[in-house]
Amino acid sequence: MQKLVVIALLLPLVPLLAAQDFEKERLNNWHHWRGPNADGTVPRGDPPLIWSESKNIRWKKEIPGEGLATPVVWKDRIFVLTAVKTDEQVKRKEAAPRPEPRRGGRRRRRAAQPIHVYEFVVLCLNRKTGKVLWKRVANREVPHEGHHSTASFASSSPTTDGRYLYASFGSRGVYCYDLKGKLRWKRDLGDMRTRNRFGEGASPVIHGNSLIHIWDHEGDSFLVCLDARTGKDRWRVERDEVTTWATPMVVEHEVVTQVVANGKKRIRSYDLATGKVLWECGGQANNPIACPVVHEGVVYCMTGHRGFAIHAIPLDSRGDITDTEKILWMRDDAAPYVASPVLADGLLYLTKSQNAILSCLDAKTGEAYFAQKRMPGVRRLYASLVSAAGKIYLVGRNGTTLVLKRGKTLKVLATNKLDEGIDASPVIVGKQLFLRGKKHLYCIINEK
């Protein structure tokens, strides 16, 4: 009886102890697709400066199928999502993609509807060797719609709290595994209907016992907060939005934890505890994808497709602040379409549209230290910017990575080329750099 009483008294402490352990280890790992701080900065990272296919490669592992999901790393394990096309087919009534109207009378061909069964796979690799420790087929089905030619059916990155892995394949379900590969729960949130069948891409975000997932599409859009231990809804709010691919940012400010979610129509901040909208701001461009970043109580949200918009918004804002003096500063000359920015030492680094054209802004004022500089050897990029050890890493779609000196003036320190294209964002843990190419995952090591 005494043992039962002691256990009952200790049970409420278990989540607290788990949270403390997570915070202790977070900076030594890469638990979120944007890194330990969910913003691309790596305070304890010391990655390599120079590499090639024959230099500083610790290991190179072929990943089956296709996927753009950025891997996550926890201690000695790496977790990767992929979608593997099988030979099994089904018949479809629609034999070819149909054109969809566009503004100005132009028409765009939508992606073809799939006819093959895909396996949606979670892989766990050994961080030291790249060996597969376990593989789980989360689902096996024919996707209800296709995706853009540069996208994939595994574009959402997983996340972990150090105890469980949370993996979203979007319309194919959300899954929770323990780190040994045992399925804890799964949820079907429905089918997304994305614009032009461009595919899905927003990643889930873990914060304490809350798993946040955004569901913006051409149907009934919503933001949902799931109980991370059960997968059940804690709250769900409707969103007046169309298709977006922007992962929300969770930030603690004063006594309120906010979920900042960008959208085509508005940026909105939600109270994590209730789902209530705290503040909102209009004035975006099209197709939000870039993840917000936060610095000293200010959140920076941006869009860069068919127009540019950057907003610097204080987190203590409340209500509708569109076109008000509450906005610290705005710019409309350049902003990223796909690649998320990085903010370090008060400097905001961002690219223009899909192009490797870089600007460095003062985060407090929005003034440019250098603006719209075209990067040598790289034309386009999807991978988000990351920063570690006083350097900025910019990864192009052609497999070329530029290493820049972090500072108010532009200086290229190194140009590194691999044999395959890269769209997933770089991952830095300690002296290791992980790059997911079209076919392989590279582990690149700083030998110093």
For 366-410, write each residue's pLDDT tens digit.
Answer: 999 999 999 999 999 999 999 999 999 999 999 999 999 999 999
Residue that has been written with the tokens 């409309």 in this structure: 332
Residue 22 lies in a domain: no
Predicted pLDDT of residue 98: 45
Q: What is the DSSP string of 119-148?
A: EEEEEEEETTT--EEEEEEEEEE--SS---
> Residue 9 domain-assigned?
no
Residue 307, CA distances (Å) to 49, 150, 337, 340 in order? 34, 21, 10, 16
Residue of 70 and 151 predicted with greater confidence: 70
> Is residue 85 assigned to a domain?
yes
Give strand pairing partners of 292. none
For the residues 338-360, what does the mean pLDDT come to? 97
| Total number of domains constituting the chain | 1
Q: Which has the higher per-residue pLDDT, 3 or 124?
A: 124
Residue range 64-89, pLDDT digits in tens:
999 999 999 999 999 999 999 999 99
Q: Contact at 8 Å (CB) between 379 and 357? A: no
pLDDT of residue 400: 98
95 has a pLDDT exceeding 80 = no
Statement: residue 21 has pLDDT above 90 = no
Residue 338 has pLDDT above 90, yes or no: yes
- Coil, strand or helix: which one is 356? strand
pLDDT at 260 over 60: yes
pLDDT value of residue 387: 98
Whole-number pLDDT of residue 9: 53
pLDDT range class, residue 7, cuts 50, 70, 90: low
pLDDT score for 448: 75
Q: What's the rounded mean pLDDT across residues 154-171? A: 97
| Per-residue confidence (pLDDT) for residue 103, from 0 to 100 | 44
Model confidence at 302: pLDDT above 80: yes
* Residue 97 pLDDT: 45
**Residue 128: how many other CB atoms lie within 10 Å:** 12
The contacts of residue 257 (CB under 8 Å, 6+ apart) are: 207, 250, 251, 271, 272, 273
Check pLDDT > 60 for residue 255. Answer: yes
Task: Please give the share of the chain, as a percent, with pLDDT higher than 70.
Answer: 92
Q: What is the pLDDT of residue 353?
A: 96
Q: How many angstroms separate the CA atoms of 228 and 5, rounded?
A: 27
CB atoms under 10 Å from CB of 410, counted, come to 15
- Does the pLDDT at position 363 exceed 50? yes
Of residues 358 and 91, the one with the higher pLDDT is 358
Query: Which letter does DSSP use for residue 196 in this model?
Result: G
Which range has the worst mean pLDDT, 7-16, 286-295, 359-368, 371-380? 7-16
Residue 21 belongs to some domain of the structure: no
pLDDT of residue 113: 86
- How far apart CA 191 and CA 217 sit, in angstroms, is 9
pLDDT for position 111: 73
Taking all residues of the chain, what is their mean pLDDT, rounded to a whole number? 92
Instruction: Find the mean pLDDT for residues 243-257.
Output: 95
| Residue 110 confidence (pLDDT) | 67
Binning pLDDT at 50, 70 and 90, where does residue 108 land? low
| Structural domain containing residue 83 | 27-99+109-445
CATH number for the domain that contains residue 86: 2.130.10.10
> Which tokens go with 12?
């409420």
pLDDT at 109: 59
Q: What is the pLDDT of residue 4?
A: 52
Q: CA–CA separation, 50 vs 53, rounded Å?
A: 11
On whether residue 5 sits in a domain, the answer given is: no
Confirm whether 18 is domain-assigned. Answer: no
Q: What is the pLDDT of residues 115-143, one digit of tens each?
A: 999 999 999 999 999 999 999 999 999 99
What pLDDT, on the 0 to 100 scale, is given for residue 3? 55
pLDDT tens figures, 168-223: 999 999 999 999 999 999 999 999 999 888 889 999 999 999 999 999 999 999 99
Residue 82 lies in a domain: yes
